[in-house]
Structures are given as C-alpha cells and as structure tokens.
Structure 1
Amino acid sequence: MSITRKYLNQLAPQLSPRDLAIIYEVGRFKLMTGGHLERLFFADCSDTSRARNRQAVLRRLTEHRVLARVGERRVGGAQRGSASFLYTLDVAGQHLSQSTSTRPRRPYSWYEPTIAHFLGIAELFVMLREVDQSGLFSLLDFQTEPYCWRTFGQRTLKPDAFAQIGIVLPDGRRRKGSFFIEVDRANQYGAKIETKVPQYLAYYQHDRLAQPERAFPRIVFLAPNDERAGYLSRLVQGWSEADRIFSVGLLEHPVLTLLGHRA
C-alpha cells in the first residue's frame, strides 16, 4: 500500500479521539505492547469486551498502516495472545503523529537491546496512569526521552523519564513531587552505570547555584529485582549528598518509592 497525501487526507477524518491518543502514546514511547494499550485505552470496557475491542481497534490501525507489529514477535511473561504483540508507528502513523504533537516522532529502528528498556519505561507510565485513575494521586506530567533531558553548561543530563505527581493530604493541603527516573534493566555494571551518579550530582550542584530556592527533583532508580536494587543502593551510598537526592526502588512497585519522597 502506497502512503500518499491523498490516502492520509482520506484516513484522518476516520480516526477517533482514541485512535489519535494511541498514535500519540505509541509515538512518544516508540514501542508498546497490546497489553499496555488495552490498560490505557480500554479499561472502561467490560471484562468480556475489553480484549475484543482492543483487538479490533489495533487490527484496524495496523491494516491502515498507522501501527505496525514489530518483528511479528511477542514478549514473554504473563501476557498471552495479541496483547503481547509489540507495536510501533507505521508509515501512516508517523505522518499522522504530527497532528497529535508539536514534537516530531522518530520511527523505531529495530535494535534488540533497546526493547526491554523502551517497554520498561512504557510500563512505568501505564502503572502511574492507572494509579492516577484510581485517585491516589494525580499524574501531572510525564516526559520521555529526549524531552526529559536537561542541558546545563556544556553537558546534557539524560534521564529515562521525568514525572511529576500531585497529592492531596488528609488536611486538604496539596503537595507536589518531581522525579528524574532511571528504569534500570540490570544490564549496566561498572563504569557505565557509575557515571550516572556523578552526572546527577553535577546537575544538582549547578541547579543549586542557579536557583537555590527551587525544589530539586528526586532522582529515582527503579530496579527489576531486589538483588539489583541492593547493588544500586550501595552504588549511590558511596557519594556525598546521595541521601538528599537519590532513592532506589523496584519497577514493580514504583508508587511506593514516589510517594515516599514528595516535595
């Protein structure tokens, strides 16, 4: 199928607000599973119709070259069936994403080591959105790479994500917490992961000099298991001021870490 301007002009009016939201989220995370999209966009359907509706919508978007199954492969774990397929923006989706965001969306290029990383960040966002919908806190902002990066001097800090949450305390007061987040996949040891800590400390010191009164975001490392969390905890404890700005938690339970440290 040739994706021409005429084809896009005919397709665009057929897309629902949910279709456009799916394009936006898949575009900014580059790679998501059918399960992620089901939890984000079909949670209000009944248990019996949720999977069926998700399958129909994703099939339609795939047939229209809006989405593509990456490598026709499935992720492992508890997911089964089409919920475990990986999706990225196809050619039509890349063009249409310009209408869902002012920021350009680069297409995903197949590279095996990045798959778990991209999916980990997407999973974090989906979990935080689910908590937001439950009313425990409000997810005020969630930025992905490269939009969460921060430039200071001649250097660039490159967190995996930036999140901001709001919570109402029992006495009615409102509190807000901001976080730079590293979604750790237990595949960086030694010098590579160790460079992350001094980079954050350098940015912290730069920010304190520039705006000493501003609350600085908490830096959160989310690990896939307890063993890795222990390694990361020992890593950050070797630096001065680490307790002031760093937290380590589990990707499986990010809310516990975020709620434990809100400004």
Structure 2
Amino acid sequence: MKINDIASLLESLSERDLSILESLRTHRALTTALIRRLHFPIGGEPREAGSGKSHATEMAAAVATIRVLTRLEARRLITRLHRRIGGVRAGSTGIVWQLGASGERLLRARHGDPARRRYSEPSSGFIAHTLAAADLAIRLYELARQGTIELLRLEAEPECWRTFLSAHGARQWLKPDLFAITADGEFEHHWLIEADNATEHMPVIVRKALQYQRYANTGIHQQEHGLFPAVVWVVPDNKRQAAIRSALEREQKLRNLVQAGVFHVVTTEEFPAYIAGGHGSPANP
C-alpha cells in the first residue's frame, strides 16, 4: 500500500472506524458483541472518543455495528474468522473479527511499525482465551465510562509482558493477560490479570504463580511505583475459584505472597465489583 493510498484511506475513515481497527490491533480478536460494547453505546451509556452517537436500543446498536463491520470487511480492513462463538445460533453477535490485510498495513504505517504481523486462523483455544481477556478489558473500560473508576493505564498482550533476570542472571518473561492501573479518589491500584477458562491444570497455575513470585522478588515494579500489583485470576465459576485458591495456599513457596494478599481469585461475575472496590495493590511483598 503506497503512502498516497494510505493517506486517502485514512481520510475516508471515520473516528469510530479507526477506533475499531485500533481495538482489533490491541486485542487481536473481538466478537461483534464485544465491538458493540466498546464502540456503539446504547441510550444513556456514557460515550467516549470514537464511539459515535448513542443508539436508542440494543437492537439498533447491534444493527449499526454489523453494518459498519460489513463495510470495513468489504474494504479488507477487517476479516471474520470461520469459527463463531456460540455457534450458528449466536448469529452475527458471535462472529469473531481480526484485522484484514489492508487494515494491518494501514495501522503499521500509522504507527511506524516495520514488523508485519501474520494473521491466520487461530486455534479455538487461543481464540477463547483471547476473547476472555478482551472481555475483561472491556469491563474495565465500561467501569471507567460509568465513572466508577479512573482507568489510568491498560495494557494487553504482548505490551503487558515483563522481562526480568532470574537469580542466576537468566532472562525470563512474565506473561500476564492484562496490566491495569486504576484509581478511586486518592488511591491508585495496580493489577496483573489472568483470564482463566478452566482449561489449565493446577500445576500450570502454580508454576505461573511462582513466576510472579520471582518477578516480585526482583523489586522492579516496586522501585518504579512503590508497590507490587495485585495478581488476579478471573475464573468462570466458584468451583474453579476454590480449586485455584487451594492450590496456591498449599504451595509452601508461595505462602508469603498468599499471606501478603498479593494473589486473588474472583469469578467473572465478581470482577467488576472487585475492581471497583479497589482490593488490589498490596504493600511490597
């Protein structure tokens, strides 16, 4: 795509069109329903830049969403995956979208990013996890739009990944699904968030928790911010919640972080109220 073509294309897109493309760049994949929640507010829902006008009903918002997405798809700015979330019965709300070839080139030019991303049909497990993380991010945006919290910072993968040196000098990576900084009044809260779909075995969860412990021991985040983030696993139900809590409490190496209140396990339903309550960001572990 030539520079003149990019400039012409940018001029033809609305602020909301660009916001949708940027959302897909950030979250890698979104369903029609998630895009509706982000960019097509209903009635009295607060609006933000790039969200366009409010719609009278959810049906009107849904119709407008699929009309805009179909237009962007026709220009190869976005593309739909073969898999639908919820199957055929979910209709257009279950369509999963990612950037198309033209959209990827456009945003690469806009951001001055020389590295080309390869977009192919991801596995069902990858999509389920990606959408779960995106849903949590959108819940944070919604809390901020409602005025319940201030959302000072939100990073998705891979921006939220952290690198550090182990005790033996080897480079290691910490790979949360989201990093967020929220505020309410005078207090600032830091969160490292794990979207859990109950697909990983407990030893995998414990190994991830031990990686968080190694990162905490470096003091990197504490030196910059004066505190260590709350590490939150967001799980689908109470059974999974109890299982992860029990696994973390049984691991002796994690006892200090458990006792310091660093690790938290909440259900998806509890997540918004939990964040709004500002239960995170304990003192230095």
Same fold (TM over 0.5): yes
SS at match of 1:240: helix
Equivalent in 167, 179, 183 of residue 166 of structure 1: 183
Maintained 8 Å contact 1:24/1:101: no
Q: Decide whether aligned partners of structure 1 residues 99 and 252 sit closer, same or farther in structure 2, where only a CA change above 3 A counts.
A: farther
User: Which residue of 2 is the match for residue 171 of structure 1?
Assistant: none
1:217-236 correspondence to structure 2 within 5 Å: 217-236=229-248
| Cα distance in 2, alignment partners of residues 167 and 107 from structure 1 | 39
Identify unmatched segments of 5+ residues in structure 1: 169-173
Equivalent in 135, 140, 147 of residue 147 of structure 2: 135
User: Which residue of 1 is the match for residue 13 of structure 2?
Assistant: 15
Equivalent in 56, 61, 74 of residue 84 of structure 2: 74
| Cα distance in 1, alignment partners of residues 139 and 202 from structure 2 | 30
Letter in 2 for 1:59: T
User: Which residue of 2 is the match for residue 27 of structure 1?
Assistant: 25
| Cα distance in 2, alignment partners of residues 220 and 150 from structure 1 | 16
| Cα distance in 2, alignment partners of residues 42 and 128 from structure 1 | 16
Maintained 8 Å contact 2:184/2:278: no
Q: 1:194: Cα distance to partner?
A: 1.8
Equivalent in 56, 67, 74 of residue 63 of structure 1: 74
Q: 1:217: Cα distance to partner?
A: 0.6
Identify unmatched segments of 5+ residues in structure 2: 42-53, 166-170
Q: Decide whether aligned partners of structure 1 residues 186 and 108 sit closer, same or farther in structure 2, where only a CA change above 3 A counts.
A: farther
| Cα distance in 2, alignment partners of residues 148 and 213 from structure 1 | 16
Letter in 2 for 1:243: Q
Q: 1:208: Cα distance to partner?
A: 7.0
| Cα distance in 2, alignment partners of residues 257 and 222 from structure 1 | 11
Q: 1:123: Cα distance to partner?
A: 0.5
Equivalent in 94, 98, 111 of residue 88 of structure 1: 98
Equivalent in 239, 254, 257 of residue 271 of structure 2: 254
| Cα distance in 1, alignment partners of residues 81 and 97 from structure 2 | 6
Maintained 8 Å contact 1:223/1:248: yes
Maintained 8 Å contact 2:221/2:228: no
| Cα distance in 2, alignment partners of residues 62 and 209 from structure 1 | 41
| TM-score normalised to structure 2 length | 0.82
Q: Decide whether aligned partners of structure 1 residues 31 and 210 sit closer, same or farther in structure 2, where only a CA change above 3 A counts.
A: closer
| Cα distance in 1, alignment partners of residues 30 and 139 from structure 2 | 13
Letter in 2 for 1:88: Q
Q: Decide whether aligned partners of structure 1 residues 180 and 213 sit closer, same or farther in structure 2, where only a CA change above 3 A counts.
A: closer
| TM-score normalised to structure 1 length | 0.88
Maintained 8 Å contact 2:189/2:278: no
Q: What's the C-alpha RMSD, in Å, of the aligned pairs?
A: 2.4
User: Which residue of 2 is the match for residue 199 of structure 1?
Assistant: 211
Letter in 1 for 2:182: I
Q: 1:167: Cα distance to partner?
A: 0.9
SS at match of 1:80: helix
User: Which residue of 1 is the match for residue 36 of structure 2?
Assistant: 38
Alignment identity in percent? 30
Q: Decide whether aligned partners of structure 1 residues 209 and 162 sit closer, same or farther in structure 2, where only a CA change above 3 A counts.
A: closer
User: Which residue of 1 is the match for residue 255 of structure 2?
Assistant: 240
Give the aligned length. 254
Maintained 8 Å contact 2:202/2:244: no
1:100-115 correspondence to structure 2 within 5 Å: 101=111, 106-109=117-120, 110-115=122-127
Equivalent in 178, 184, 187 of residue 196 of structure 2: 184
Q: Decide whether aligned partners of structure 1 residues 213 and 26 sit closer, same or farther in structure 2, where only a CA change above 3 A counts.
A: closer
Q: Deviations over 1:110-163 (max 9, x none)?
A: 222201100001111111111111111111111111111111112111111101
